[in-house]
Structures are given as C-alpha cells and as structure tokens.
C-alpha cells in the first residue's frame, strides 16, 4: 500500500466468512475502537479461503486478521493494537495510573485467562460439531470455562466496566463473551450477561458490527 494512503489507518479483515462466525471475526475489535474515537479507517479485505497475499506474513506472521498500519506502526495482535490506540486516547485507556493498570491487567486477563477457554468451546461447537471426540471433550472444557466465567463475574461485581470506566479491556472481554452467543452458558452469569449487553448497546459497537456484517453482504462477495 502506498504510504500516501496511510492517512487513514488500515487494517485487514476477511471479505467473507461462513455465516456462523460473521460478527465474531476479530477485526470487529478494531472497528469498535475506531468507532469509539470517531476515527475513520480503511479495511483491506483478504480471502479467507485462499493463500494470503505475497508479503502478508511480514505484516501478520500467523497469516491471521486483523493486521494494522497507520503509517507510523505496522502491528498485529488485537491486544497490542488496542493498547497502541488506547495510549493515544483516554476514552480507550484511562490516564490515571490505577485505572490505567487495571484496564491493562484486564486486557491481558480477557486475552489470556478467559478467551482460550471460550475459544475452546467455540472451536468444539463451530468446527468439530458432530464429532464423537468433540462431544466427549465438551463437558470438561465447559467446566473449565465456567470456573473462569464465575471468577470474572465476581471480579466485575457491580461495576459497569472492568476498570471502572469503559476501556480496551471491555472491547476484548465483550467480544470474547460474544463467542458464546450460540449457547445459553451466560444465562448462569447474569452480571456478565448484563455487562456484555451493556457493551453491545454502545453506539460505537453497533456501528462496528453493522459495518462488519454489511461488508460480508457487499456485492464484491
Ligand atoms: N491473537 C490474535 C488472533 C487473531 C485470529 O484468531 N484471527 C482469526 C480471525 S478472528 C483468523 O484470522 N483465523 C484464521 C487463521 O488462524 O488462519 C489476535 O487477537 O489478533
């Protein structure tokens, strides 16, 4: 991409994905963050079904989306990209040190301590449904996940947001919890369910989700 086009940050997404995972692809996190800031962005669409374009692995070594470029930094990993964006704006990362470090801590917790357990259930249900070994593995995966959800709910308590005020930690945690939308698992965690709904009701989230879903419906697909 020519440098002159980088006035708007660009990130990668898939031109289309199978219906069950529409609304789940992680470029949603970056769309949401940009919408919170009212910042324009450009999406570079990749074909999920074909090899990545030449040179893409130099940008995203695992060949995944999203990868991000604002002309200053070329980054991958949603956690790192959100931290980078948060450093630029207190609406995504509170400046006051205690709240800031709570947000960073919960950003890592969402990515490292909750997402792997949610993703395991997602993988069993979306990609291995109907396989006998998946049915056998699911109860223990569910037990592990339930322990993490109970701990997250207890830590959230009566707060609206993980770090007190809305932050990049909530962008990740809410999008992680959404991976369970095809299940009733969150029904047992009413505070977490309300927290997820609070995130999803933010105008920036709704715009971001609509943009992602519209991109799959575009004539190019
Ligand atoms: N840890 C990465 C995960 C990125 C990721 O899993 N991307 C998915 C889409 S949501 C992907 O591109 N999967 C295709 C693949 O792994 O080949 C991040 O947070 O950026």
Which domains does the chain carry?
3-91+204-217 (3.40.30.10), 97-202 (1.20.1050.10)
**C-alpha span between 148 and 142 (Å, rounded):** 10
* Span 67-77, average pLDDT: 98
**C-alpha span between 69 and 67 (Å, rounded):** 7
pTM value? 0.95
**C-alpha span between 183 and 20 (Å, rounded):** 12
CA 32 – ligand 1 centroid, Å? 17
Enclosing H/E stretch for 43 = strand 42-46
Closest residue by Cα to atom 9, ligand 1, is: 25
Q: How confident is the model at residue 88 (pLDDT cuts 50, 70, 90)?
A: very high
Mutate to test the pocket of ligand 1, among 16, 20, 26 (most ligand atoms within 8 A of CB): 26
* Span 92-106, average pLDDT: 97
Does residue 64 line the site of ligand 1, with CB under 6 A? yes
Closest residue by Cα to atom 1, ligand 1, is: 77
Longest dimension (CA), the chain: 53
Whole-Å CA distances, 141 to 111, 152, 184: 17, 17, 15
Whole-Å CA distances, 106 to 10, 31, 64: 26, 20, 23
Does residue 123 line the site of ligand 1, with CB under 6 A? no
Closest residue by Cα to atom 2, ligand 1, is: 77
CA 124 distance to own-chain centroid: 19
CA 97 – ligand 1 centroid, Å? 30
b or e along 7-34 (b: 16 or more beta carbons within 10 Å of the residue's beta carbon)? Answer: eebbbbbbbbbeeeebbbbbbbbbbbbb
**What is residue 2's predicted lDDT score, i.e. its pLDDT?**
42
Closest residue by Cα to atom 17, ligand 1, is: 64
Q: Which atom of ligand 1 is nearest to the CA of 77?
A: 20
- 4: pLDDT strictly greater than 90: no
Mean pLDDT of the chain: 95
The string of DSSP letters for 67-127 reads EEE-SS-EEESHHHHHHHHHHT-TTTS-SSHHHHHHHHHHHHIIIIIIHHHHHHHHHHHHT
* Span 55-62, average pLDDT: 98
* Span 106-117, average pLDDT: 98
**C-alpha span between 77 and 83 (Å, rounded):** 10
Does residue 116 line the site of ligand 1, with CB under 6 A? no
CA 185 – ligand 1 centroid, Å? 23
Closest residue by Cα to atom 12, ligand 1, is: 64
Tens of pLDDT, residues 152-168:
999 999 999 999 999 99
What's the DSSP call for residue 159?
Answer: -
CA 76 – ligand 1 centroid, Å? 10
């Amino acid at each position: 991409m020519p440098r002159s086009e980088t006035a708007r940050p660009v990130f990668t997404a898939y031109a289309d994905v199978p219906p069950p995972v529409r609304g789940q692809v992680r470029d949603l996190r970056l769309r949401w963050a940009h919408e919170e800031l009212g910042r324009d962005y450009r999406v570079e669409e990749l074909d999920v079904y074909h090899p990545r374009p030449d040179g893409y692995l130099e940008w995203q070594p695992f060949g995944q989306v999203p990868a991000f470029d604002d002309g200053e930094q070329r980054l991958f990993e949603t956690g790192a990209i959100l931290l980078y964006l948060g450093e630029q704006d207190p609406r995504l990362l509170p400046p006051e040190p205690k709240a800031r470090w709570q947000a960073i801590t919960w950003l890592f917790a969402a990515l490292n301590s909750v997402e792997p357990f949610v993703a395991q259930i997602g993988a069993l249900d979306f990609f291995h449904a109907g396989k006998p070994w998946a049915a056998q593995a699911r109860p223990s995966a569910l037990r592990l996940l339930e322990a993490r959800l109970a701990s997250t709910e207890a830590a959230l308590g009566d707060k609206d947001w993980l770090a007190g005020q809305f932050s990049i930690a909530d962008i990740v945690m809410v999008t992680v919890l959404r991976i369970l939308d095809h299940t009733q698992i969150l029904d047992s965690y009413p505070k977490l369910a309300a927290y997820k709904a609070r995130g999803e009701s933010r105008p920036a989230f709704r715009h971001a989700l609509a943009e992602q879903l519209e991109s799959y419906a575009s004539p190019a697909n």
